[in-house]
Structure 1
Amino acid sequence: MSFRQLTDDIFVTPQISTDDIAEAAKLGVTLIINNRPEDEAEDQTPGDAIERAARSAGMDYVAIPVTHSGFSQPQVEAMSAAMEKADGPVLAYCRSGTRSTLLWALAEASQGGDPDALTNIAAKAGYDITPVRPLMDMLKAQA
């Protein structure tokens, strides 16, 4: 699995398996964030299996599922809180890594992050966050 690094403290990736936890541990990851709803696809590793493997490796785990219907304020707040309380690098995953990247950008904007800088960071990692740019601008203005 190739994790994409957004910042020193956040990696995103498509769906992981329990085998990927060892790679995350080598990178110093202390928190796994699952942004994928359970049973979204038949081939996905269940969140509880990822959670058990993460906790066995000494990592925290949190599920903040995002469906294709979009993002909500509670999800943005949960992502912000999870990243803030992490005591080391974070790995967030979903089906492709896109929803994790979008939610990261929204969480960062809600904490005062610059939307232009966040857009550039995501683009360097291969993710287009322009679909949530208006929401990022709004969250930044409210920060």
Structure 2
Amino acid sequence: MSFKQFIEEEFMSTPFISLSDTVAVAPQLSASDMAAVKAAGFNSVIINRPDLEGGDTQPLSAEIIKAGQEAGLTVVYQPVVSGAMTQENVNQFQEYLETLPTPILAFCRTGTRCTHLYNAAKQTS
């Protein structure tokens, strides 16, 4: 069974989109989701949503990072402003794709920003 098939069968409680066999994107996650992310087979998480973008009810990156690390994940915070993606953002995302333990789950508000970062990074690699 491929990683993509495993995720589709075992990780359906949290919406996500597989972009490849080693990268998927999701909408906003919280600290309480990190154990399930690890249980689903992910090894790394990229947080692309800036803190407080959605107001004070949005989970903070520091809380998610702590929970992710406690679950055994590598978690990085790479805030990217929606609609204002830069080449520097793309380059950093590409570096994460090349260096973080796979499989990787990236998330933002809806997953779209992460998808754009992934597509742009793939075009420049």
| TM-score over 0.5 (shorter chain) | yes
TM norm structure 2: 0.83
Distance 1:53 1:62 in 2: 12
Superposed CA offset, 1:76-112 (max 9, x none): 111011111122200100011100110111111110x
Distance 1:87 1:51 in 2: 15
Q: 1:2–1:13: 8 Å Cα contact kept in structure 2?
A: yes
Runs of 4+ in structure 1 over 4 Å off? none
Mind listing any 5+ residue stretches in structure 1 that lack a counterpart? 112-143
Residue 83 (structure 2) pairs with residue 64 (structure 1): no
Kindly state the Cα deviation for residue 22 of structure 1 after the two structures are TM-superposed. 1.9
The answer for the alignment partner of 2:39 in structure 1 is 26
Point out which structure has higher relative CO (alpha carbons under 8 A, 6+ apart). 2
The answer for the alignment partner of 2:108 in structure 1 is 94
**Local SS of the residue matching 2:115:** helix
Identity %: 33
1:5 corresponds, among 12, 18, 37, to 18
Distance 1:76 1:103 in 2: 6
Higher helix share goes to which structure? 1
How many residues align? The count is: 111
Distance 2:33 2:40 in 1: 11
The answer for the alignment partner of 1:15 in structure 2 is 28
TM norm structure 1: 0.73
